[in-house]
Amino acid sequence: MPIENYGVWKANPVTYRVEHRWEDPKSPHLSLYYDDSGQHPDERSKRHDEERSRRQHHDQHHGQHQGQHQGQHHGGAKEIPGLFGAAINIKSGDPKDSKLAYWVDHDFGGHPIIDRLSDLEPGFHLLEDTKIPNDLRIDYIRSNLFNVNLGRILPHDIEGPNNDMIDMLEPEIRQAIDQDSEVYLFGSRFSSGDGIHDVHMNQGNNKHFRKDDGIFQDGALLIHFKDSSRWVGVFLGFASQSAHTDENGHTIGSETWSDYLTGQERNMGLIENSVAIKGPT
């Protein structure tokens, strides 16, 4: 059956924590904490400053290489009173290929979905089970969201700059917080109602997660920088997921995102640090 409680959460990001390889080498997450109360920016900024101060104190106390995450809740997100939490995967649990597929569009404002999203009130919006393409439900393969050819296959956390999931995702999150943006988190709301997960592609899974397959139920992170009216789209998949799926979201053929994107890099001669997507295909 498809994932449960699929929807989109409109909110304001407040802080985040990320798990490095020495903290969780198996199933690490970036936990994004957010507020959907529509609170005045000054109040959110105060909470952000308090949490950042707490995080800096933690880093100094535990040493430079102890990271920011202080425990887990809901598979990655530690509770912070008064805030919701998004557990964003930054590594796959697949023992054969633990890398992720990563796409980012720094000029997403021209996509038709933006007008419909902008009308939403803050909070979680359950998106009813429908396969209607013009609904808010999104599908990496069918919604024409971004140019799938320009993704990257990235490991969780390795030495060197601009070469892993933390290097790519953390700056986007930090900028979203620092510039008082709005975020739109697509995924599955926790049954407890205090956060969201499955913020990634939710189809084309291997046999162990085939039951979660479905179309028009993919996760994503969209960021709206209100001061500049700029939109950024961040899209995540597992390298082992299929690049082709049927009408039920099940795998077609054997080509994975790792196969597909590695081939695209060879064929198109993409430079290693090129992550910008020009627009929808």
Q: What is the pLDDT along the chain (281 residues), one digit of tens a residue?
A: 589 999 999 999 999 999 999 998 899 999 999 999 987 556 555 555 555 565 555 445 444 443 333 334 455 557 899 999 999 999 998 888 999 999 999 999 999 999 999 999 999 999 986 666 568 999 999 999 999 999 999 999 999 999 999 999 999 999 999 999 999 999 999 999 999 999 999 999 999 999 999 999 999 999 999 999 999 999 999 999 999 999 999 999 999 999 999 986 555 554 444 444 344 44
Q: How crowded is the C-beta side of 130, counted as CA atoms within 13 Å?
A: 10
Predicted pLDDT of residue 56: 54
Domains of the chain by residue range = 6-268
Residue 132 near residue 13, CB atoms below 8 Å: no
Question: Token pair of 85, please?
Answer: 């939490």
Decide the pairing of beta strands 195-197 and 84-89: parallel
Question: Token pair of 183, please?
Answer: 């975020």
Q: Residue length, the chain? A: 281
Predicted pLDDT of residue 73: 44
